Structure 1
Amino acid sequence: MSLTLLSSPLQGFTDFRFRNAFHKYFGGIDTFYAPYIRMNGKIVIKNSYKRDLELANNDTLEVIPQIMTNSDEEFLFVVKYIQELGYKELNWNLGCPYPMVTKKGMGSGLICQPQKIDHILKRVHNETDITVSMKMRMGYDNPDEIQDVFPILDKYPLKNIAIHARIGKQLYKGGVDLDSFQKCIDNTKHKLYYNGDITSVASFQKLQERFPSIDHWMIGRGLIADPFLPKMIKENTTKYPENAIDTFRTFHDTIYQQYDEFLSGPTPIRMKMLGFWEYFSQSFDNPQKVFKKIKKAKNINNYQVAVKEILANKEFKGFQ
């Protein structure tokens, strides 16, 4: 069976700068999903979304835009916008677990409203020719909520449903619910993609063994924590390349420079990179120590010194 790997969108992390650098230095991802477009009741596309989806910024990648909404009018507006850019598919986010989203009836907070989902999908499929795919959790309060949505989804020619095998109120805590994911496989006619806790080659292989019918796998946090992971999965190896630390350093320096040019002032770039290092640190022998060193760097000079020391200590997993 062929193997397709997809990058799950992470708001604030996987924009076009990250995607392009990742593709150049690591590879292994077949399709990138752009972080969601959210309208907040205003029928206007923010400049940050425009930059992220501009074709010139994505000319070497396969990218699929995503929308976060509970409004049919917003959905139709975004469809028109992305089609004018040349995109043919729009992914609908019913997976975001954060309370600021779910309390407004969006993301995983919308899964308990199958009739609203039906209304939106009916308009989109009747009034446009966009290809629709879904990114979902199995529910917000319990994993059976998605089972009530499947009869609605099965009415429409969705390209696929990518399911993060948790419920919304878990956020990212606790383990994935593999039994409930199997129940999803058993109860929908649609093609399913798996998402959730693919953090190593070993964890991927266990999931692949558990779900032999799945051939599309979506990686989110694990992709940032270990950028070598997708290609290692593709090559079926647990051995890092000999130049792993040099590759990581070049990748880091590339995204640092690009974000530094875009963000105004030393504090925004420091906070941006601090967010990345919360994930990057997981690729080192002592994650807490590594992240603490970055966190203590209160200015850019100290940050650069900290990164140099971390990479010089050869505590990266690639040296094991």
Structure 2
Amino acid sequence: MSFTLLSSPLQGFTDFRFRNAFHHYFGGVDTFYAPYIRLDGKLKIKSSYQRDLQLENNTTLNVIPQVMTNDADEFLFVVKYIQELGYKELNWNLGCPYPMVTKRGMGSGLVKESDKIDHILERVHAETNVVVSMKMRMGYENSSEILDTFPVLEKYPIKNIAIHARIGKQLYKGGVDLDAFQRCVESTSHKLYYNGDITTVNKFKEMQERFPSIDHWMIGRGLIADPFLPSMIKENTIEYPENRLEIFKEFHDTIYQQYDEFLSGPTPIKMKMLGFWEFFSQSFSNPQKTYKAIKKAGNPRAYQSAVSEILKQEKR
């Protein structure tokens, strides 16, 4: 069966600079979801969101914008903005697990609020022609919350629902709940996408066998930890390219240069790359040592030296 691979939106990581470089050096991803737009009560689009979605910054990609809100007016405001840019679909984030979001009744904290979800979807579908898709956790406190919401979702022509097979309060701890995801498959007529812990080619195959009806697969942290993963899944191989480290270095240098030009000063670029290396290090032979070397680098020159040494050690 043919399948589609999607890049899950990760705030602070998968902006247009990362997406473009990833697509150029690795490929394998059919559709990228942009990190969410969040308005916080002000009907104004931040410049960072504007840059991320400008068409000239996404010329070679299939990109879908995302909104995180629990307010219908905010949702409608973002719909108007993305449609003016030429986007036809808006993804609604009911998946973010972080307490600073969920305590305000957004992200996965909104899953149990079926009346509020109903109100927002009713207005959006009555007042706009935007295509709505959703990204959800199975709930915040327990995995039955999404099941209680499905009857509301059945009322609307939602394009698809990507479900991360965890609950919000787990954050990213513990395993995915595949039995609960199966209950989702059995409880809705909407098209479901699977998201959660696709970290290797073999893990992907296991998921395919477990859920034969699913043909869209979303990869989040695993895609950053191992940027070769989507193309290897597509090519059905567990063998890395012989020039793996050279490709990774070119990709790394590209995003480093672009973030360095955009961010002001050595501290912001170090923190940005440290975040990436928390994931990158996982595909190196000694993740802890690799990450520690990056963390110790106190200035840009030391950082570049640490990266060179890491790649040299990995070649041996």
Q: How far apart are the structure 2 equivalents of 1:163 and 1:285?
A: 31
- Match for residue 285 of structure 1? 285
**Following TM superposition, by how much is the alpha carbon of 1:194 offset from its aligned partner in structure 2, in angstroms?**
0.1
Q: Which residue type is aligned with residue 243 of structure 2? A: N
- Match for residue 100 of structure 2? 100
User: In 1, are the aligned partners of 2:285 and 2:314 still within 8 Å (CA)?
Assistant: no
- Match for residue 205 of structure 1? 205
Q: How far apart are the structure 2 equivalents of 1:43 and 1:101?
A: 18
TM (normalized to structure 1)? Answer: 0.98
- Match for residue 116 of structure 2? 116
- Match for residue 258 of structure 2? 258
**Secondary structure of the equivalent of 2:80?**
helix
- Match for residue 159 of structure 1? 159
- Match for residue 216 of structure 2? 216
- Answer yes or no: is 1:29 the counterpart of 2:29: yes
- Match for residue 298 of structure 2? 298
**Secondary structure of the equivalent of 1:313?**
helix
- Match for residue 172 of structure 1? 172
**Following TM superposition, by how much is the alpha carbon of 1:18 offset from its aligned partner in structure 2, in angstroms?**
0.1
TM (normalized to structure 2)? Answer: 0.99
Gaps of 5+ in 2: none
Q: How far apart are the structure 1 equivalents of 2:249 and 2:164?
A: 31
Q: How far apart are the structure 2 equivalents of 1:174 and 1:138?
A: 14
- Answer yes or no: is 1:19 the counterpart of 2:5: no
**Following TM superposition, by how much is the alpha carbon of 1:154 offset from its aligned partner in structure 2, in angstroms?**
0.6
Q: How far apart are the structure 1 equivalents of 2:133 and 2:218?
A: 13
| 1:37-76 equivalent positions in 2, closer than 5 A | 37-76=37-76
**Following TM superposition, by how much is the alpha carbon of 1:95 offset from its aligned partner in structure 2, in angstroms?**
0.1
**Following TM superposition, by how much is the alpha carbon of 1:3 offset from its aligned partner in structure 2, in angstroms?**
1.0
Q: How far apart are the structure 1 equivalents of 2:51 and 2:200?
A: 32
**Secondary structure of the equivalent of 2:314?**
coil
CA RMSD after TM alignment: 0.7
- Match for residue 274 of structure 1? 274
Gaps of 5+ in 1: none
What do residues 43-64 of structure 1 show as CA deviations (whole Å, max 9, x unaligned)?
A: 0000000000000000100000
**Following TM superposition, by how much is the alpha carbon of 1:27 offset from its aligned partner in structure 2, in angstroms?**
0.1
Q: How far apart are the structure 1 equivalents of 2:184 and 2:112?
A: 16
What do residues 92-141 of structure 1 show as CA deviations (whole Å, max 9, x unaligned)?
A: 00000000000000000001100000000000000000000000000000
| Corresponding pairs, count | 316
Q: How far apart are the structure 2 equivalents of 1:200 and 1:2?
A: 18
Q: Which residue type is aligned with residue 132 of structure 2? A: V
Q: How far apart are the structure 1 equivalents of 2:264 and 2:233?
A: 37
Q: How far apart are the structure 1 equivalents of 2:188 and 2:3?
A: 21
**Following TM superposition, by how much is the alpha carbon of 1:314 offset from its aligned partner in structure 2, in angstroms?**
1.8
